[in-house]
Amino acid sequence: MDGNNLLQNPCGEDQMEGWEMTENGGSEWRVEELPGDCGSTFCNEAVKNYFVTSFELCLKRQLVDLLAKGFSTETLDSQPTILVEDWYSGRTDCGCIYQLCVSLLDENQEVIKEFRLGPVTLDPDNDDCSWRQVTHTFSDYGPGLRFVSFEHGGQDAKFWDGWYGVRVTGSSVIVQP
């Protein structure tokens, strides 16, 4: 992953550390090794793990305090480009649902600008279930940025007991002053 990534533990190397569980349904979140049962290989060999969801909605979030990360108010008010990336995939034996919401927040954690994707349904009957990349670039969002909220997750589409839901890894938030 990029050295400028502001997200902690983007690939599950430290289990769930750094992540706040905002929805933890079913059998809760779990970390598994790539490629996993009924999974596909990942494009970056350095990535060894992924997070996997269960049969009810599972969402996890990180709130990045940009001032605490060393950015000045002047830099943030100059509207630096914010690059966001996430990777998701399904299993070849069970459909799943993925969603992502990244919000730029002011000092009161009010939304300045938001990017949402999903819910996206992956169906193994119509899809090869390989890893898919999501990227978004924030620019021209106005002054006042102080926090970035990154939240993603989903669930399986068949309500199977266990960890048959969407898989996520390689998440990143990068500020380019």
Residue ranges covered by each domain of the chain: 20-176
CA atoms within 13 A on the CB side of 156: 21
* Amino acid in position 162: G
20-176 CATH fold: Jelly Rolls (2.60.120)
Give 59-107 pLDDT, tens digit per residue: 999 999 999 999 999 999 999 999 999 999 998 889 899 999 999 999 9
- DSSP β-bridge partners for residue 138: 82
Predicted TM-score of the model (pTM): 0.92
Contact between 155 and 52 (Cβ < 8 Å): no
Q: What are phi and psi of 76, to 5 degrees?
A: -65, -35
